[in-house]
Amino acid sequence: MHWEQILATRMTRMKASEIRELLKLLDQPDIISFAGGIPDPALFPAQAFRQAMGQALSDAQCATSLQYSVSEGYAPLRDWIAEQMALIGVPCTRDNILITSGSQQALDYLGKLMLSPGDTALVGWPTYLGALGAFNAYEPRYDRLDPGSNREAQDFRDAAAPGRVKFAYLSADFANPTGVTLDQTGRERLLDMAEDLDIAIIEDAAYQALRYDGEAVPPILATEIARKGDIEACRTIYCGSFSKTLAPGLRIGWVCAASPVIGRLVLMKQAADLHSSTLNQIATHLVAREHFAAHVPMLRETYGRRRDLMLAALEREMPAGVSWTRPEGGMFTWLTLPEGTDGAELLARSLKTEKIAFVPGHAFFPDGTGRNTIRLSFTLHEKPMVDEGIARLGRLLRG
């Protein structure tokens, strides 16, 4: 069977995630990994989930937990999320919330909903690799999203022809991969640009709760609601997730948006998997309701301290010509290496000689540029491993 003859054209745009492949290295005990942007499993609220699963599978609850459910998601969980959204400046109801199987599924649905082949998605340069993977299946073009640029709306339209610009995608808080946060002025300019282009904004807020210092900036959706007074008038689509705060293995994320958008995404959900795991939604609701308010500050303290350890180690160990971001939250710092250094080649050498793992930066650029960049995650390790790993990286770069 020659499968290539019957595959859709979209398959030419799809490839394995370099990050997912690198996660396999975590099983090798001699590797110090700064690669995957994953939470520390030692910090999972495991006992709370054991109790929640027991309650969800009790005689009184199991008929609901193990049954088919509505595509929009478990109503008590959606109500709880709506309450949390109000706390960050986004008043809404459960009708504005759709539960997804992780925020990655939300990105896939949004690409399917809005992109026709040849349309343009505006993304950061670099941007989240998983977003590119989700959107690539729908055969878009990419153009550079830079809220600080002076490009006019017509410039974007001309570059997109004969297709059209459909949305701007970004992670405004502690972006993956750079760790950079878009300031309030940048958020206002982005909203102005989206109005001029008449496009949607996809706000990927996977790390929004993990701020360690600095002043919190309202979500883009909150800023737009402050302008327009009602979420139903807004073009921003907020994607949230419990993967970075509670447990990624349960795959519970959500979309918060105007109800017409939610209604169309429900159609995507019904065509894909009917609904996210009812059992996991119920357990997540029980844990979030009782533990989220205390659990997240503990994560902030731990990850913030580990960020400081990595930044201090970089100051000690990096040779001249290397620079890096200093994130106020999230999971990543982004290194720019001297011109002519190739992050992919550096990783290959590192795995052979220094036994450290990181993500080469070119994977985050739609055009494959950025060869002299790498991404480091600081969430998994304490001081001994951080100091040793960054010392090895410095030795590698000096060599």
- Predicted model pTM: 0.95
Whether 168 and 145 have beta carbons less than 8 Å apart is answered as yes
Could you tell me if 239 and 378 lie in one domain?
Answer: no
Could you tell me if 391 and 330 lie in one domain?
Answer: yes
* Domain with 391 in it: 3-44+295-398
**Domain-ending residue, one of 261, 291, 321:** 291
Name the region of 389 (left: φ>0; alpha: ψ -120 to 50; beta: rest): alpha
Segment 342-360 mean pLDDT = 92
Residue 25 clears pLDDT 80, i.e. is over it: no
Q: What share of the chain is helix, strand, coil (3-state, %, to 5)?
A: 50, 15, 40
Give the count of domains, the chain. 2
Segment 15-36 mean pLDDT = 71
Segment 124-151 mean pLDDT = 94
Q: How much is the pLDDT for 1?
A: 78
Q: How much is the pLDDT for 21?
A: 61
pLDDT band at 2 (very low <50, low <70, confident <90, very high): confident
The CATH number of the domain where 376 resides is what? 3.90.1150.10
Q: How much is the pLDDT for 23?
A: 56
The DSSP result for 210-265, as a single string, is -B-SS-----HHHHHHHHHSSGGG--EEEEEESTTTT-GGG--EEEE--HHHHHHH
Give the CB-side neighbour count of residue 59, counting CA atoms within 13 A: 0
pLDDT, tens only, 159-210? 999 999 999 999 999 999 999 999 999 999 999 999 999 999 999 999 999 9
Residue 26 clears pLDDT 60, i.e. is over it: no
pLDDT band at 13 (very low <50, low <70, confident <90, very high): low
Could you tell me if 325 and 230 lie in one domain?
Answer: no
Could you tell me if 36 and 167 lie in one domain?
Answer: no
Name the region of 153 (left: φ>0; alpha: ψ -120 to 50; beta: rest): alpha
Could you tell me if 279 and 322 lie in one domain?
Answer: no
pLDDT, tens only, 377-388? 999 999 999 999
Whether 344 and 357 have beta carbons less than 8 Å apart is answered as no
Could you tell me if 225 and 208 lie in one domain?
Answer: yes
Could you tell me if 125 and 146 lie in one domain?
Answer: yes
**Domain-ending residue, one of 259, 291, 323:** 291
pLDDT, tens only, 262-290? 999 999 999 999 999 999 999 999 999 99
Could you tell me if 352 and 390 lie in one domain?
Answer: yes
The CATH number of the domain where 121 resides is what? 3.40.640.10
Could you tell me if 198 and 56 lie in one domain?
Answer: yes
Q: How much is the pLDDT for 337?
A: 98
**Domain-ending residue, one of 259, 275, 291:** 291
Segment 344-369 mean pLDDT = 93
Give the CB-side neighbour count of residue 287, counting CA atoms within 13 A: 26
Longest dimension (CA), the chain: 64
Could you tell me if 92 and 208 lie in one domain?
Answer: yes
Could you tell me if 212 and 323 lie in one domain?
Answer: no
Mean pLDDT over each residue of the chain, to the nearest integer: 94
